[in-house]
Amino acid sequence: MADPNIDVVAKAAGVHRSTVSRAFSRPEAVKSETREHILRIAEGLGYTMSPLAQALRRKTSTFVPLIVPDITNPFFAELAKTMTQAADERGYQLLLCVTNGDPAKTEGYFTAMQAMYAPFGIVAPSTKVDTGVLKRFDFGHRVVVIDRVEGDSSVPTVTVDSRRGIVLALEHLRSLGHTSIGYVSGISGTHTAQDRMDAYLELSAEGSSTPLVLDSGSDPDAGARAAKHFLEMENPPTAIIAANDMVAFAVISALGQSGIRVPEDVSVMGFDGLALGARFNPALTTVRQPIADMGNIAIELAEKQNLNGSVDHVVLEPELLVRASTAGPRK
């Protein structure tokens, strides 16, 4: 039962190929009874249109690439999850592309998406995004990035308000009585990571406390190093804000290895609001990013841009998520 093509459907329905085509892709252009007849016949034959052939002829497909550096990172995984959903609610087919942070791969995916006539693409970068690259691939006007970009506002973006998130974290910790609050930046490289750090630096200086960056490396071991650093201090902070949930996990784990308990000995906050955080030990207090919204909005922005060329930059509000990893300062 090799699947039938448009011609056999046409013959079975007693109409021309083009009418079948229209029945499917331009319903208003065909008399409704004809269309229903065709659809019924097609249904009976188990016919569906070939997306390949369509894309080839139309020079536009429904493949939407989502480019992420590492799907193993739960943040990107959650993003991917909500975006697949959002995508196929709108009739797109999300293609997950994992770069491992390799710029060459990123470019490879760009050329691939061009070749596949993707209508647009979404990129969640691991480094500060270079809009030049996007442009070079004639894709500059069809891509939205999930980060802030600098110096070029011609590409749509979605982010959460990093500064606001840090404010939330700081307020929470201070209301608990903390005055000495450290920061672990961990993996950085993106603008948002930078923004979080900057906000911490600035805002914690405003408060009574002095900024205290425990680590600012950009590798996965930053958490462990931060913990080591913490242990060596003669006057360690009573609370720590981690740049993201994964780093918070690592910090707590490394601290625990040395017998430091959270939140009894030190409070630790994350930033992301991963579902995983609820199952951490202890459950992680964090600043939640509305990941699902980000995904939906990213696609909407892309569509809007495709439609009328408008490029928007939306920044979302983060939200405090208090769980069990924060408490009053140790005595």
Residues in the site for its own copies, rule: CB under 8 A?
1, 3, 48, 50-53, 55-56, 61, 70-72, 74, 77-78, 80-81, 84-85, 93-96, 98, 100, 111-112, 114-117, 138, 223, 246, 249-250, 252-253, 255-257, 262, 275-276, 278-283, 324
Instruction: Please choose which of its own copies, DNA, none residue 25 contacts, taking the beta carbon within 5 to 8 angstroms, the exact cut-off set by kind.
Output: DNA
Alpha-carbon torsion 196, 199, 202, 204, what sign? negative
Q: Answer for the pair 91, 85: CB distance below 8 angstroms, yes or no.
A: no
Q: Which stretch binds DNA (CB under 7 A): 3-11, 89-97, 171-179, 259-267?
A: 3-11
Tokens representing 167 are: 């404010």
Give yes or no for residue 230 binding DNA (CB under 7 A): no
- Contacting residues for 71 by C-beta, under 8 A, at least 6 apart: 77, 80, 96, 98
Give yes or no for residue 331 binding DNA (CB under 7 A): no
Give yes or no for residue 258 binding DNA (CB under 7 A): no
Query: How far is the CA of 295 from the CAs of 101, 115, 256, 280, in angstroms?
Result: 20, 24, 35, 25
Instruction: Please choose which of DNA, its own copies, none residue 275 contacts, taking the beta carbon within 5 to 8 angstroms, the exact cut-off set by kind.
Output: its own copies
Give yes or no for residue 42 binding DNA (CB under 7 A): no
Question: Which residue among 1, 11, 12, 18 contacts DNA (CB under 7 A)?
Answer: 18
Instruction: Please choose which of its own copies, DNA, none residue 47 contacts, taking the beta carbon within 5 to 8 angstroms, the exact cut-off set by kind.
Output: DNA
Number of residues that bind DNA (CB under 7 A): 30
| Least separation in angstroms between CB 63 and its own copies | 9
Give yes or no for residue 330 binding DNA (CB under 7 A): no
| Least separation in angstroms between CB 137 and DNA | 16
| Least separation in angstroms between CB 291 and its own copies | 10
| Binding positions for DNA, rule: CB under 7 A | 5-7, 14-19, 21-22, 24-26, 29-32, 34-35, 47-50, 53-54, 56-59
